[in-house]
Amino acid sequence: ETGVTQTPRHLVMGMTNKKSLKCEQHLGHNAMYWYKQSAKKPLELMFVYNFKEQTENNSVPSRFSPECPNSSHLFLHLHTLQPEDSALYLCASSQARGTGKGYEQYFGPGTRLTVT
C-alpha cells in the first residue's frame, strides 16, 4: 500500500451505534489530520496530531474522539452521532505541522458516513 489509506470507504450507522474510522499513512510523515467535508460547505479541519500529540481540536463535539497510537495510524471513534454528522471524512498527513514551512498535505480517499 502506498500513500494514505482509509477504511471503511462507506459506513452507515444508527445514532446509537459506536464505530471507528481508520487511517494509515505510508509516507513517513509526522503530522496527521481529520477533516469533515459536507455538501455545499467548506472543508472543516477537525483534529491535528503532530508527532502523535494532539495539537488542535477545532471545537469538535465530544461524540467524535480521535486516537493516534503512532505516527502512521489515526482513528476517529464515533458514538451517538446525529444525522447532520453525515459527511465525507477525510484523513490527511504531512511531513510535520508548524515550523513555518509550507508542507503539502496528502489525503486519503475518505469515508462516506451516513447516520440514520
Which residue, 92 or 113, has its beta carbon nearer to other proteins? 92
Which residue, 58 or 82, has its beta carbon nearer to other proteins? 58
Summarize the chain as % helix, strand, coil (round to 5). Answer: 5, 55, 40
Checking DSSP bridges between strand 10-13 and strand 111-115, what pairing results, if any? parallel
CB 106 within 8 A of CB 29: yes
Which residues contact other proteins (rule: CB under 8 A)? 4, 6, 33, 42-43, 45, 90, 92, 94, 97-110
Q: How far is the CB of 92 from other proteins (least distance, A)?
A: 8
**Which grid coordinates belong to 104?**
503539502
Q: How far is the CB of 35 from other proteins (least distance, A)?
A: 9
Which residue, 2 or 62, has its beta carbon nearer to other proteins? 2
Q: How far is the CB of 70 from other proteins (least distance, A)?
A: 21
Q: Residue 78 and residue 6: Cα distance in Å, rounded?
A: 15
